[in-house]
Amino acid sequence: MQQSLFEHLGFDLPDTEFDRPDVECSHDLEVGKAAEHLVCADLIMSGYRALLSDQGLPYDILVDIDGTLLRVQVKSTRKPKNHDPKTRVTPGYLFQLRRAGKGGRRRYPENAFDLYALVALERQAIAYLPVIDCSNQTIALRVPGERYLQNGSMNREFQEASFRHALNRLGFET
């Protein structure tokens, strides 16, 4: 299983939010910011030049790849969900891709960013997917370590969605 950035750096974090009863769950905007910082740190620790963008832009992070700036939209979720318990047995991490803001009231403009960074905050896991590979409005990623049916529709996994793989799909030699 992929090690989180925090595990790699040797931080001993609580296993769940319940291990820290003195801390309330952050507001959604703060949770989104935490995911943006996690992605930026992951990219920097992997040797890329990355920086957080200003508020109000459709992308959250810029990454310099040999003089070309890639725009990254970060999406996060706190924990896996089962959005359709009648037909789906095992939960997954669900990400709404086409909409922004509380309740998805706003739509992103066309060509606003180059790739998505999908973050499962409870595991500090990140999947990098180029926009060209994301035609659906919603993406579901499998929970690492869970067993799924062979023909299940949730066929995307974190370990198959590295930043290097996303760069290759965008035509960059790595």
Q: What is the pTM of this model?
A: 0.78
Query: Which one is predicted more confidently, 132 or 107?
Result: 132
Q: List, for residues 114-152, the tens digit of each pLDDT value.
A: 999 999 998 899 999 999 988 888 888 877 766 665 655
> Which phi-psi region, left, alpha or beta, contains residue 128 (left: φ > 0; alpha: ψ -120 to 50)?
beta
The domain limits of the chain are 5-169
Which CATH architecture does the domain made up of 5-169 adopt? Answer: 3-Layer(aba) Sandwich (3.40)
